[in-house]
């Protein structure tokens, strides 16, 4: 196994905006605009940013739940960017996702057992007779009673439902799990439990994580490396310690100094942005952040800064450096 389980190169995902009688393409939403990442095996990468910066889209595109518009996705040394659904099917076992909204991520009409066992059934991992036992084992792994499997999702609290979602992700023996803001919809005390659960699972099963979040404080505990995202671009990247102790980008500084609390539910409409963040339909020229930057100077509104290495395992995209 290479040291990087997942490598993403210049990933782009645009959504066309249609207008008019014949659905003319009037513009593109640059949700993900040239993102490059690397995740070390058995480590955790945190992808942070405000609502609507494109982090969820990045996560979904990496998993090929959305087709990339451009760029490369390399999983375990293999380029999967152009894989079709049939080719992806076996690979899907390796890469799973845990969602943000514990209420929308579980099918209300299925039993917990059905939900957690779905992966087992789809990939025929265990014979039908053994499935119940396997589901029980999975539930125990995430700290739930095995006889919960006969119940329905609405009978459980948010934290419990999130555990069910994690059990589902684990059911197919993945190597990579993408957590799309898995803590955002939970109460603070529950957040801690889930974080601990994820850490335990990572140690036990050698999992690699990409955790997408907007709350830097939550993420600092679990992440080995951090990538800061804004309007579809990575602004800063480095190990957690380096970035938190020595943030180089003005945006990172701003994030660290205040804890933004955007409404987690609003970001489900990842295309439409509200508030001060400019629309990804028409991103600002030059550095994307420059309209809001305190340190803005001459080249910022003309030239887009490239991601450059300023120290060992610390990259930043800013003209200041």
Partner 1 sequence: MDKQTPEVTRAYESQFRQVFLRFLSHRLAVAGAVVVVMLLGLALFANVLAPKDPLFLDTSKRFIPPFQSWTNFLGTDEVGRDVLSRILYGGRISLIVGIAAMFATVVTGSLIGLVAGYFGGKIDNILMRLTDTMLCFPQVFLLLVLAAFIRPNLVSIALIIGVSSWMEVARIVRSQIMYIKEQDFIQAAKALGASNAWIMFKELLPNSLAPVMVSATLSVANAVLMESYISFLGYGIQAPLASWGNMLTNAQSYFDLAPWLAIIPGVMITLTVMSFNFFGDGLRDALDPRLRM
274: CB partners within 8 A, 6+ apart: 52, 266
Residue 160 in contact with partner 1, rule: CB under 8 A: yes
- Asked whether position 143 contacts partner 1 by CB under 8 A, the answer is yes
Which one, 95 or 300, has the nearer CB to partner 1? Answer: 95
Rounded Cα distance between 252 and 216, Å, is 10
Q: Assess 179 for contact with partner 1 (CB under 8 A).
A: no
With beta carbons less than 8 A apart as the criterion, state whether 139 and 170 touch: no
Among 30, 43, 168, 319, contact with partner 1 (rule: CB under 8 A): 168
Q: How far is the CB of 118 from partner 1 (least distance, A)?
A: 6
- By CB under 8 A, residue 16 contacts partner 1: no
Q: Residue 31 and residue 14: Cα distance in Å, rounded?
A: 6
User: Binding of partner 1 at residue 97 (CB under 8 A)?
Assistant: yes
CA 77 remoteness from chain centre: 20
By CB under 8 A, tell whether 52 contacts partner 1: no
Burial 132-165 (b: 16+ CB within 10 A, else e): eebbbebbebbbbeeebbeebbeebeebbbbbbb
In angstroms, give the least distance from the CB of 51 to partner 1: 16
Selected binder of partner 1 within 29, 39, 53, 63 (CB under 8 A)? 63
Please report how close the Cβ of residue 228 comes to partner 1 at its closest, in angstroms: 25
- Which residue stretch of 97-105, 214-222, 242-250, 277-285 sits at the interface with partner 1 (rule: CB under 8 A)? 97-105
Q: How far is the CB of 74 from partner 1 (least distance, A)?
A: 19
**Would you state the structure tokens that stand for residue 36, as one six-digit string?**
């490059």
Chosen residue from 44, 57, 61, 100 binding partner 1 by CB under 8 A: 100
Residue 231's closest CA among 276, 178, 289, 181?
289
Residues 6+ apart with CB under 8 A from 107: 114, 115, 153
Smaller CB distance to partner 1: residue 143 or 291? 143
Of 118, 271, 310, 320, the one binding partner 1 (CB under 8 A) is 118
Residue 11 CB partners (closer than 8 Å, separation 6+): 32, 34, 35, 36, 58, 61, 62, 68, 70, 71, 72, 73
For residues 236 and 232, give the distance between their C-alpha atoms in angstroms, rounded to a whole number.
12
φ/ψ (deg, to 5) at 198:
-65, -40
> Residue 177 corresponds to which tokens in the numbers above?
């799990």
Task: Name the residue with tokens 């197919």.
Answer: 172
CB of 80 to partner 1, least distance (A): 14
Using CB under 8 A, which of the segments 100-108, 226-234, 258-266, 305-313 binds partner 1?
100-108
**Options 4, 14, 75, 156; binder of partner 1; rule CB under 8 A:** 156
145 binds partner 1 (CB under 8 A): yes
Least distance to partner 1, CB of residue 285, Å: 33
Q: Which two tokens stand for residue 67?
A: 């087709």
Q: Per rule CB under 8 A, is residue 198 in the interface with partner 1?
A: no
Nearer to partner 1, 32 or 216 (CB): 32
Residues contributing to the site for partner 1 (CB under 8 A) = 60, 63, 65, 88-90, 92-93, 95-97, 99-101, 104-110, 115, 118-119, 122-123, 143-145, 152, 154-157, 159-160, 163, 165, 168, 172, 190, 193
């Amino acid at each position: 196994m290479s040291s990087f389980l997942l490598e993403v190169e210049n990933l782009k995902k645009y959504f066309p905006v249609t207008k008019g009688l014949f659905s003319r393409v009037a513009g593109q939403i640059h949700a993900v605009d040239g993102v490059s990442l690397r995740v070390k095996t058995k480590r955790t990468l945190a992808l942070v940013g405000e609502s609507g910066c494109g982090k969820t889209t990045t996560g979904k595109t990496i998993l090929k739940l959305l087709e990339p518009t451009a760029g490369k996705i390399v999983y375990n040394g293999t380029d999967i960017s152009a894989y079709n659904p049939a080719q992806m099917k076996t690979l899907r076992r390796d890469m799973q996702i845990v969602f943000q909204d514990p209420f929308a991520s579980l099918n209300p009409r299925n039993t917990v057992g059905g939900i957690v066992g779905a992966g087992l059934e789809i990939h025929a991992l265990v014979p039908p007779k053994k499935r119940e036992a396997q589901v029980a084992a999975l539930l125990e792994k995430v700290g739930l009673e095995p006889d919960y499997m006969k119940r329905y999702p609405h009978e459980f609290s948010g934290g419990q439902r999130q555990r069910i979602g994690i059990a589902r992700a684990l059911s197919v023996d993945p190597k990579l799990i993408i957590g799309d803001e898995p803590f955002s919809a939970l109460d603070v005390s529950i957040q801690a439990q889930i974080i601990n659960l994820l850490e335990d699972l990572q140690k036990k099963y050698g999992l690699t994580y990409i955790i997408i979040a907007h709350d830097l404080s939550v993420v600092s505990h679990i992440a080995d490396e951090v990538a800061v995202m804004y309007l579809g671009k990575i602004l800063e990247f480095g190990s957690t310690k380096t970035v938190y102790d020595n943030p180089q980008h003005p945006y990172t500084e701003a994030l660290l100094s205040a804890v933004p609390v955007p409404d987690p539910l609003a970001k489900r409409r990842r295309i439409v942005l509200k508030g001060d963040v400019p629309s990804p339909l028409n991103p600002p020229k030059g550095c994307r952040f420059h309209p809001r930057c305190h340190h803005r100077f001459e080249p910022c509104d003309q030239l887009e800064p490239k991601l450059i290495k300023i120290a060992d395992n610390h990259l930043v995209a800013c003209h200041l450096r």
